[in-house]
């Protein structure tokens, strides 16, 4: 008998799935085969799974090596408890609270169970709620990889964060401050500006959507946390030989050359050491992780539609599965 009273023999589970490539309109709630914990994997009984809306536009969501993956299960940012331990896995037991990031070319956690390679998760402190852990994991790991691994941001560096109060933007602003950089953020409203100051921003520039700010230049590093088509003013804001990190689509090579800057695009991967550091940070209770809205798993596409709604509250949209 496993953690939620289903017999071990249960072979199916409830999941959100898409049988055809597309947007939220393709998502249905249905019975799906329950995965098993293969070599080096854990089967996790999902408690919470967060949404990154653009994941439905990412190629690896739908195919791997040109091979169609449908039906797919979205939502790679999860928290739950261990339901089964696969061969060769040590240090975990049934019932352990865990959280992590399922690789984007595998079935996600918008389901009752998810099979996860052991390297893609870590123990979760009992004081860290599954909703907070699921909402924080992707934005925090992405911000850390951008500022520390890719850009080696340091004290006194001038950092520009475009969209500094979104899910990823909030962690970029917070970590930039904690790394003692001089942090300038752009936001699209006064309200967001106040949140940016609370996160540690030194300077806030309100840039209504579609407009270009004046006088932003000489930055050592700019990170785009909006994810739309990157406007030229962001390239121009970086000093020659300075860095630009983008997260949704690779940057425009011509503009990179014209402004003589160094650019980076990456797709974040789980990292156990970072997950453990994140758990310790969240366990301090000092980090306010914004959650825009929560939905039961059975809400299916409604959660993705809410994540796309203009004017929605800041933060992640999260399925609360258990
Ligand atoms: N490469 C990777 O590994 C990776 C990992 C995570 C995320 N991402 C990408 O990073 C991007 C951000 O993700 P997220 O989860 O942080 O999204 P999010 O929470 O929706 O944040 C997006 C932010 O951008 C602002 N924004 C949206 N449209 C804008 C526009 N036209 N002009 C100015 N500001 C605008 C929003 O501000 P307001 O709503 O307040 O206006 C919000 O603060 C997405 O494209 C996502 O796919 C990539």
CATH number at residue 203: 3.40.50.720
DSSP letter assigned to residue 35: P
Average pLDDT over residues 182-201: 96
- Are residues 116 and 23 part of one domain? yes
Domain span holding position 165: 139-265
- Are residues 232 and 307 part of one domain? no
| Contact by Cβ (8 Å): 112, 321 | yes
Average pLDDT over residues 232-243: 97
In a domain, 261, yes or no: yes
Structure tokens at 38: 């293969």
Question: Does the predicted model carry a pTM greater than 0.85?
Answer: yes
Pocket around ligand 1: residues whose beta carbon is below 6 Å from it? 52, 54, 138-139, 142, 163, 165-169, 188-189, 192, 209, 225-228, 247-248, 266-268
- Are residues 243 and 194 part of one domain? yes
In a domain, 209, yes or no: yes
Q: Which CA distances in Å does 217 have to 207, 208, 213, 237, 253?
A: 15, 18, 10, 4, 19
- Are residues 249 and 170 part of one domain? yes
Is residue 1 very low, low, confident or very high in pLDDT (cuts 50, 70, 90)?
Answer: very low
% pLDDT > 70, the chain: 97
- Are residues 294 and 209 part of one domain? no
- Are residues 237 and 307 part of one domain? no
% pLDDT > 90, the chain: 87
Could you give the dihedral angle defined by the CA atoms of residues 303, 307, 308 and 312, in that order, rounded to the nearest 10 degrees?
Answer: 120
- Are residues 312 and 254 part of one domain? no
Q: How many domains does the chain have?
A: 2
- Are residues 100 and 173 part of one domain? no
| Predicted local distance difference test score (pLDDT) of residue 9 | 57
Average pLDDT over residues 269-274: 92
Task: List pLDDT tens digits, range 200-229.
Answer: 999 999 998 889 999 999 999 999 999 888
Residue whose CA lies nearest to ligand 1 atom number 42: 166
- Are residues 216 and 115 part of one domain? no
- Are residues 104 and 157 part of one domain? no
Task: List pLDDT tens digits, range 123-174.
Answer: 999 999 999 999 999 999 999 999 999 999 999 999 999 999 999 999 999 9
CATH number at residue 68: 3.90.180.10
| Predicted local distance difference test score (pLDDT) of residue 10 | 75
- Are residues 257 and 192 part of one domain? yes
Task: List pLDDT tens digits, range 45-80.
Answer: 999 999 999 999 988 999 999 999 999 999 999 999
Residue whose CA lies nearest to ligand 1 atom number 33: 209
């Amino acid at each position: 008998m496993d953690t939620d009273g289903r017999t071990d023999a249960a072979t199916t589970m409830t999941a959100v799935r898409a049988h055809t490539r597309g947007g939220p309109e393709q998502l249905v709630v249905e019975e799906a085969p329950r995965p098993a914990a293969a070599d080096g994997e854990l089967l996790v009984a999902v408690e919470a799974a967060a949404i990154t809306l653009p994941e439905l536009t990412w190629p690896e969501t739908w195919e791997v090596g040109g091979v169609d993956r449908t039906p797919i299960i979205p939502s790679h940012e999860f928290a739950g408890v261990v339901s089964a331990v696969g061969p060769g896995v040590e240090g975990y037991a049934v019932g352990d609270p865990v959280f992590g990031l399922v690789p984007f070319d595998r079935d996600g956690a918008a389901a009752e169970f998810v099979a996860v390679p052991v390297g893609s998760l870590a123990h979760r402190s009992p004081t860290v709620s599954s909703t907070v852990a699921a909402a924080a994991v992707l934005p925090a790991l992405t911000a850390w990889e951008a500022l520390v691994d890719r850009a080696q941001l340091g004290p006194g560096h001038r950092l520009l964060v475009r969209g500094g109060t979104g899910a990823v933007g909030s962690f970029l602003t917070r970590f930039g401050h904690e790394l003692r950089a001089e942090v300038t953020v752009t936001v699209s409203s006064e309200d967001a500006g106040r949140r940016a100051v609370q996160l540690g921003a030194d300077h806030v520039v309100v840039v209504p959507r579609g407009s270009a700010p004046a006088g932003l230049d000489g930055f050592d590093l700019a990170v785009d946390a909006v994810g739309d088509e990157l406007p030229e003013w962001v390239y121009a804001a970086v000093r020659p030989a300075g860095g630009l990190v983008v997260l949704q689509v690779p940057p425009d090579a011509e503009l990179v050359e014209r402004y003589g800057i160094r650019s980076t695009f990456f797709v974040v991967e789980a990292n156990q050491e970072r997950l453990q550091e994140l758990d310790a940070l969240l366990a301090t209770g000092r980090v306010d992780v914004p959650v825009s809205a929560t939905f039961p798993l059975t809400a299916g596409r409604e959660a993705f539609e809410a994540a796309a709604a203009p004017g929605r509250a800041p933060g992640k949209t999260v399925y609360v599965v258990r």
